[in-house]
Amino acid sequence: MKQQTFSERLHIDIPLLFGLIILCLFGLLILYSASGQQSAVIYNQVVRMLFAFGLMFLVAQVSPSRLAGVSIWIFLFGVALLIMVLVIGYIGKGAQRWIDLGVIRFQPSELMKLAVPMVLAWYLAEKTLPPSLSQIFLSAVIILIPVGLIVKQPDLGTAILVSIAGFSVLFIAGMNWRYITGLVILGALMIPVSWMFMYEYQRQRVMTFINPEQDPLGAGYHIIQSMIAIGSGGLYGKGWLNGTQSHLEFLPERSTDFIFSVLCEEFGFAGVMVLLGLYLFIIYRGLYISMHAQTTFGKILGASIILTFFVYIFVNIGMVSGQLPVVGIPLPLVSFGGTSMVTLMIGFGVLMGIHTHRRFLSD
């Protein structure tokens, strides 16, 4: 029998943990500057990080097979919470995304970012791969039920991310390229339809993305100021704590959605390379873990978590650099805020669990 290493017994993947810690520290460095050197913000963020790392560690103890077993229940529980949120929101006559548990506020839509890929991975792993058209259809239903509820909240950003998480499972599960192409075309056709269902502020965001200069002091202001922050950083940046766009408050949402621009301004292109390098390392390690997972469920779920992680990064950077519309997606593990960090770290916990819970054939 192969000897289990110490980290395997703890169900921790050292390289992944290492990458995550470095990323979080780098994130704190940027956040300290972006927040205007408020140690209170840093303290707050560190507490959340410790909490998220703790959750990651706990989740990592759960074996993939058990996870697969409970995934349908987590999913149904999540859907129930989403309905509850809508009902509370309806009664309270306003947008409602939260469930207040007293100590922490909890966003059920956030749970769906993991519950949807889990239930899909569980469902598809039982079937013969690649999934057939009917399986894809059923998967689509599984995705669209929570997505529809989230759109109702309304929270278009999260709805898109949940859809992407679900789609990434289908992609990893080997969905036929023809279907993928079809889905992309269908998505393109949906754009004009969804335009009709958008709220005014959502349309505004899209219009701003298409032409930020049309309203430089209004809706386009954020994007223009963000691009100025990025562009003025140059190769090596203005130096830590020396960003003028952020410190003089020209940059909006600099601690949260636009924190990447702060990095660009203060650390320049060199800093961007470091951050992207860290992200790539985590993605590669995550994909490596997925590829070496023992079960199909583990393979599919692991790769889809990483894929979703990557989409976050791509959408956020695309957004702040003016390539994608502003949809309110934080930069993973760098932006200030707990909810998305907790979800991400639970995801990484799942990954570690997949990697470290191995049944040895020799037993």
Please answer whether residues 68 and 121 qualify as being in contact, where contact means their C-beta atoms are separated by less than 8 angstroms: yes
Please answer whether residues 121 and 169 qualify as being in contact, where contact means their C-beta atoms are separated by less than 8 angstroms: yes
Q: Which one among 78, 117, 268, 332 touches other proteins, defined by CB under 8 A?
A: 268
Question: Is residue 287 within the footprint of other proteins (CB under 8 A)?
Answer: yes
| Least distance (Å) between residue 270 CB and other proteins | 10
Question: Is residue 291 within the footprint of other proteins (CB under 8 A)?
Answer: yes
The one-letter amino acid at 161? L
| Least distance (Å) between residue 245 CB and other proteins | 6
Question: Is residue 276 within the footprint of other proteins (CB under 8 A)?
Answer: yes
Give alpha helix (H) positions in 292-338: 296-320
Quick note: the x/- pattern for other proteins over 175-214, rule CB under 8 A, is ----------------------------------------
Please answer whether residues 115 and 160 qualify as being in contact, where contact means their C-beta atoms are separated by less than 8 angstroms: no
| Least distance (Å) between residue 153 CB and other proteins | 29
In whole angstroms, give the CA distance from residue 31 to residue 342: 17
Please answer whether residues 361 and 2 qualify as being in contact, where contact means their C-beta atoms are separated by less than 8 angstroms: no
Count how many Cα atoms sit within 13 Å of the Cα of residue 147 in the half-sphere of its side chain: 18
- DSSP character for 331? P
- DSSP character for 165? H
**How many residues in the shown chain lie near other proteins by CB under 8 A?**
49
Question: Is residue 229 within the footprint of other proteins (CB under 8 A)?
Answer: yes
Question: Is residue 172 within the footprint of other proteins (CB under 8 A)?
Answer: yes
CB count, 10 Å around CB of 27?
24
| Least distance (Å) between residue 217 CB and other proteins | 11
CB count, 10 Å around CB of 89?
17
Of the two residues 32 and 279, which places its CB atom closer to other proteins in the complex?
279
Count how many Cα atoms sit within 13 Å of the Cα of residue 197 in the half-sphere of its side chain: 10
| Least distance (Å) between residue 136 CB and other proteins | 15
Question: Is residue 248 within the footprint of other proteins (CB under 8 A)?
Answer: yes
Question: Is residue 328 within the footprint of other proteins (CB under 8 A)?
Answer: no
Match 């965001």 to its residue by tokens. 205
Binding site for other proteins (CB under 8 A): 128-130, 168, 171-174, 225, 227-235, 244-245, 247-250, 264, 268-269, 272-273, 276, 279-280, 283-284, 287, 290-291, 296, 299-300, 303, 306-307, 310, 314, 317-318, 321, 323
